[in-house]
Amino acid sequence: MYDIGIHCGYVLPMQAGDTMVLQQQFLAIHQGKIIELKAWEAQDKDRVVKFIDASHQLVMPGLINGHAHLPMNLLRGLAEDQPFWQWLQQTILPVEKAFVTPEFVRIGTELALLELIRSGVTTVCDMYYFEDVIADSVDKVGLRAVLGETIADFPRPDDPDNAGNSYRIVEQMAQRFNDHPRITTCIAPHAPYSCSDSTLKQVMHYAEKYNLLIKTHVAETREEVEKSLADYKLTPVERLYKLGLMDHPTLFAHGVHLDDNDIELLAKTHTAVIYNPKSNMKLSCGIAPIRKLLQQNVTVGIGTDGAASNNSLNIISELATGLKLQKLHDADVSITIKDMLGMATLNGAKALGLGEHTGSLEVGKNADCIIIDMMTPHWQPLYDIPSALIYTANGSEIITSICHGQILMENRQVKTIDMERLYAETKQLSAKIHGHVTKK
């Protein structure tokens, strides 16, 4: 007997990034893995402990949010209509300094995980402070995650004196989660502009020692590139390349202001990029050159960034915005629905170093999938499922979510978070933050 069996009316497996939809299939899950994906037969129902009837629904891989700062859900709506540097230096960093504690991080992370589950995400890549506390919450709630403690030269809430506590967190996580089925440790230098060469070399040392993915914000604003050229006579990407950082498995969030030479360096070193269209729009950063990146075979995933700069972790809405923005940019329609679905599934997984484990529904991979209710007014009539997923869906259609064979949400009921307690804790903490900000 298998743990779970799903009768799928429709399946979008995303195998090899293909958007072909199959009908009347049976998906069997056992001990966290996909065991069978084959044509449905009535007797399949008798071979499973838990049977899910999705015979009128769509089953697809769980979505991947490639760049987030989960606890920043508690800062949502706090700093609006500001350009990037003012947003970061005058609002976000001072509020974080005053409020970010392990308790803040736990509550903010749980809120974010709840939002992710509700919008179909089963894998997230995060960078923040007290990343070990984030790992505890992710472990408890049941998502898959790549988690990077932030390293920087400025004082951080979990390393106020730059005394090496951030590196201790990285080491403890690398050891603790070495064999974890869902959690992977990475190391996250904040950005080239906030890390000296010696800090970046230290990051490379830990990446080498524990075989970690390096994740960092890169070329998010034009000013960042101009300052790098003034200080180092190199673009941020050229500087990281010259330091040897891109010789490690590396992931860049944003990559808005990349020139052709930067893109060549990314392609040459197999460095992946996470596209964050809504955050880049909101903070007036610019439009990432996604068409050029794809033309050079750079792996591109998609992310929301934190809720203080988005203000949503809904990757479904990110996909529609991201595709329309690219079509508007250069008046070029060559980026397609298929490209965007790939970013949120298989290519997103590859960008995070998880391409062998998740991002598509195939036998042997981890059982990370979602079920989508298509009997909803805005999905009628239904000529093309991939089109509906990108241009029509808003996330409310997602009714069930499974990660590593565990049901996180069933018929819209999230099973692994006590929402009543979480909302009460959020109300209490956000009242203190609001009081602090308005007093200033």
Whichever of 280 and 430 has its CB closer to Zn ion, that residue is 280
Piece in contact with Zn ion (CB under 5 A), picked from 25-33, 89-97, 129-137, 298-306:
298-306
Cis status of the peptide bond prior to 381, with omega within 30 of 0: yes
From the CB of 245, what's the least distance to Zn ion, in Å?
18
Classify strands 213-218 and 144-151 as parallel, antiparallel or unpaired: unpaired
- Give, in order, the Cα–Cα distances in Å from 193 to each of 40, 54, 113, 234, 272: 54, 49, 30, 12, 19
Contacts of 262 (CB under 8 A, 6+ apart): 219, 235, 237, 238, 255
From the CB of 253, what's the least distance to Zn ion, in Å?
5
- Total of chain residues touching Zn ion, rule CB under 5 A: 1
Q: What value, to the nearest 5°, has the Cα angle with vertex 5 and ends 414 and 10? A: 85
Whichever of 218 and 361 has its CB closer to Zn ion, that residue is 218
Whichever of 29 and 145 has its CB closer to Zn ion, that residue is 145
Buried b (16+ CB within 10 A) or exposed e, 100-122: beeebbbbbbbbbbbbbbbbbbb
Whichever of 87 and 177 has its CB closer to Zn ion, that residue is 87
Footprint of Zn ion on residues 155-194 (CB under 5 A)?
none
From the CB of 422, what's the least distance to Zn ion, in Å?
23
Piece in contact with Zn ion (CB under 5 A), picked from 113-121, 147-155, 302-310, 362-370:
302-310
- Give, in order, the Cα–Cα distances in Å from 140 to each of 125, 132, 198, 331: 16, 13, 36, 45
From the CB of 276, what's the least distance to Zn ion, in Å?
7
From the CB of 215, what's the least distance to Zn ion, in Å?
10
Return the structure tokens found at 274: 């996470």
Footprint of Zn ion on residues 396-425 (CB under 5 A)?
none
Whichever of 310 and 347 has its CB closer to Zn ion, that residue is 310
CA torsion 285-286-287-293 (nearest 10°) is -70
Whichever of 127 and 408 has its CB closer to Zn ion, that residue is 127
From the CB of 127, what's the least distance to Zn ion, in Å?
7
Give the span between the Cα atoms of 73 and 23, in whole angstroms.
Answer: 38
Give the span between the Cα atoms of 60 and 81, in whole angstroms.
Answer: 36
Whichever of 99 and 252 has its CB closer to Zn ion, that residue is 252
Select from 280, 276, 286, 225 the least CA-distant residue to 252: 276
The residue of the chain with the least Cβ separation from Zn ion equals 305
Whichever of 149 and 305 has its CB closer to Zn ion, that residue is 305
Choosing from 305, 339, 368, 397, the residue that interacts with Zn ion (CB under 5 A) is: 305
Q: Residue 21 has what DSSP assignment?
A: P
Angle between helices 260-269 and 236-243 (to 10 degrees): 30
Q: Is 224 in the site for Zn ion (CB under 5 A)?
A: no
Piece in contact with Zn ion (CB under 5 A), picked from 7-15, 300-308, 391-399, 421-429:
300-308
Residues that bind Zn ion (CB under 5 A): 305
